[in-house]
Structure 1
Amino acid sequence: MVEVRGELDMATAPQLREGLQQLVDAGDRQVVLDMAGVGFIDSSALGALVVTFKSLRDVGGRLRLAAVRPAVRGVLRITSVDRVIDIYDSVQAAEADLRSVDGAAGG
């Protein structure tokens, strides 16, 4: 689980993208982002999330967003990112889904 805080915009998107790519490069395949501390997201940060989603998908992994605030959820819905990246009401729900998927895969 990775906790993300603050505004995700063109100033912070490169750091977000780099940090998430480091997780993928380190072998993480199931990433949950705790978005409870994020009050704003712009297109550059959406791009970073989509790039991470694709990187994880390409190696058989998944990206999950958890505890997304209503304003941010609205941006994800308007841009249809919520149709691609799974969104959960809480970190616990995202991690429970993660465990159920791992259990179904025998691991």
Structure 2
Amino acid sequence: MGLLLSVRPGRGCTVLEVRGELDMATSPQLREGLQRLVDAGDRQVVVDLAGVGFMDSSGLGALVLMFKALREVGGRLCLAAVQPAVRTVLTVTSVDRVIPVYDGVRAAEAGAPATNHVAGD
């Protein structure tokens, strides 16, 4: 099964909803979806992982890569609604100490800066 990505505006951010398994076959799709947001000028991105029950190291790598890409342009990436199996991967690898993880999208939106500022605005 493939990965389903959907984008919606959040409060002061862009929310990327992810559904499916994040593995070697689907992680490029996640990375490309996040890169499209960065290229479009989005700087505050919340990745909603409520629909992801499994993530391997390639999914983890895609998230870390895009976290760094957003940070380099003055942006922010955070994770929301992380399922227990995925949270375990984040904790064991200490990625949860680098990428902010919130219980839900609302909490992540509240933790984001008030505006989705694009450089040059």
Instruction: Judge same fold: TM > 0.5, yes or no.
Output: yes
Distance (whole Å) between structure 2 residues aligned to residue 2 and residue 16 of structure 1: 9
Q: Structure 1 vs Structure 2: percent identity of aligned residues?
A: 74
Q: Which residue of 9, 19, 22 maps to 1:8?
A: 22
Q: Which has the higher helix share?
A: 1
The runs of 5 or more residues in structure 2 that have no matched partner are 1-14
Aligned to 2:60: 46
* 2:46 aligned counterpart, secondary structure: strand
Taking only aligned residues, the RMSD between alpha carbons, in angstroms, comes to: 1.3
Report 1:1-107 matches (<5 A).
Answer: 1-98=15-112, 101-102=113-114
Equivalent residue letter for 1:102: A
Deviation, 1:88, is: 0.1
Deviation, 1:102, is: 2.5
Q: Residues 20-67 of structure 1: CA distance to partner in whole angstroms, max 9, x if unpaired?
A: 011011100000011000000001111100110000000111101000
The runs of 5 or more residues in structure 1 that have no matched partner are none
Deviation, 1:80, is: 0.9
* 1:20 aligned counterpart, secondary structure: helix
Q: Residues 43-100 of structure 1: CA distance to partner in whole angstroms, max 9, x if unpaired?
A: 11111001100000001111010000111101000011101100000000000111xx
